């Protein structure tokens, strides 16, 4: 094997650690938070020629921030799981030797630093949320992950905080939109709960719990229509797509919790975060904005064909 081939494998290993398809779903969180903050109207202003692209500067910093924060969190997931992966998933980047544990730690640290620095370019509140996300990720990766209750809750908090990162484009709106973080908390808690059976299979009761959480999420998304500035009619088509994508796979994993069914449910669930975000975003900023978020889905799906999601 020549040097060029070794370098290619090494670079691919670093990308595998970052889970590019998952990072795209984190961008969708930012876009829905941006819409919920009221800043989504900026796109309409751009189309009408009433604003310049410079007004999107906070959004650019937020997208860079979530890339670093989410990427760093996933890298440290593999750093802390290196010994376990050596037994259960030896083809992963660290146990296979394509990336050393030391270099992975350095990569994760750099990504976290990028995320925090980018967040502080928006506001002090945004920077504080970024630091909270980093601490939550490290807590999950090092301790909480394998706990049946605190693991799903911890991971859900990471994702909910990521949505609030998007809302912080208008810091004053966080106090008004904080409850939106609960939706990804429940959704990710469902995925994390069922993902505990990815390697050896899971338990039916865990699958049933995950289905219950998904049902709560779908209900909550439509219940947002009770708000004066949220159009449930615009969100409904996206909610239907979300239900069609997620429910059959979760039902199958609940009925037959073998490892293959669980992995499929987790993969579809993670990628469908984009559909969930498009649903909420369309309610706050209209159908076209929701479609803008949904465009990220095929991009993420194609990346998932090249790089693992879980």
Tell me the per-residue pLDDT of 12-58, one tens digit each, with 9 for 90 and over: 899 999 999 999 999 999 999 999 998 776 766 666 666 556 668 99
pLDDT above 70 (res 198): no
- Using pLDDT thresholds of 50, 70 and 90, give the confidence band for residue 211: confident
Tell me the per-residue pLDDT of 144-189, one tens digit each, with 9 for 90 and over: 988 878 888 898 899 999 999 999 999 999 999 999 999 988 898 8
Q: What's the confidence (pLDDT) of residue 90?
A: 92
Residue at 3 is within a domain: no
State the average pLDDT for the chain: 88
Residue at 6 is within a domain: no
Number of folded domains in the chain? 1
pTM value? 0.88
Q: What's the confidence (pLDDT) of residue 4?
A: 45
Residue at 98 is within a domain: yes
Residue with the two structure tokens 């999420």: 217
Residue at 185 is within a domain: yes
Q: What's the confidence (pLDDT) of residue 275?
A: 96
Residue at 144 is within a domain: yes
CATH number at residue 127: 1.10.357.140
Mean pLDDT of 215-243: 91
Residue at 12 is within a domain: no
pLDDT above 90 (res 266): no
Residue at 271 is within a domain: yes
Q: What percent of the chain has pLDDT above 90?
A: 62
Q: What's the confidence (pLDDT) of residue 177?
A: 93
Residue at 2 is within a domain: no
Which residue range forms the structural domain that includes residue 149? Answer: 17-306
């Amino acid at each position: 094997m020549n040097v060029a081939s070794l370098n290619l494998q090494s670079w691919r290993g670093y990308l595998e650690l970052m889970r590019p398809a998952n990072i795209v779903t984190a961008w969708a969180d930012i876009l829905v938070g941006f819409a919920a903050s009221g800043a989504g109207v900026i796109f309409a202003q751009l189309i009408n020629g009433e604003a310049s692209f410079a007004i999107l500067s906070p959004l650019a910093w937020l997208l860079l921030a979530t890339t670093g924060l989410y990427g760093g969190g996933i890298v440290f997931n593999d750093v802390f799981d290196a010994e376990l992966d050596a037994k259960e998933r030896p083809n992963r980047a660290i146990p296979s030797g394509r990336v050393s544990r030391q270099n992975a730690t350095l990569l994760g640290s750099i990504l976290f630093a990028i995320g925090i620095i980018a967040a502080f370019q928006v506001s002090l509140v945004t920077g504080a949320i970024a630091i909270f996300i980093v601490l939550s990720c490290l807590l999950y990766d090092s301790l909480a992950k394998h706990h049946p209750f605190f693991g799903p809750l911890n991971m859900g908090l990471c994702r909910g905080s990521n949505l609030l990162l998007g809302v912080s484009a208008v810091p004053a709106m966080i106090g008004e939109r904080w409850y939106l973080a609960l939706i990804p908390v429940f959704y990710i808690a469902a995925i994390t709960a069922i993902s505990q059976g990815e390697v050896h299979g899971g338990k039916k009761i865990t699958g049933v719990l995950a289905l219950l959480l998904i049902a709560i999420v779908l209900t909550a998304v439509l219940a947002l229509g009770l708000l004066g500035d949220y159009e449930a009619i615009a969100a409904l088509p996206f909610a239907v797509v979300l239900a069609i994508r997620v429910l059959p796979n979760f039902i199958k994993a609940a009925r037959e919790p073998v490892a293959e069914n669980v992995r499929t449910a987790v993969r579809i669930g993670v990628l469908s975060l984009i559909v969930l975000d498009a649903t909420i975003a369309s309610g706050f900023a209209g159908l076209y904005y929701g479609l803008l978020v949904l465009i990220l889905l095929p991009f993420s799906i194609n990346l998932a064909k090249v790089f693992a999601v879980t």
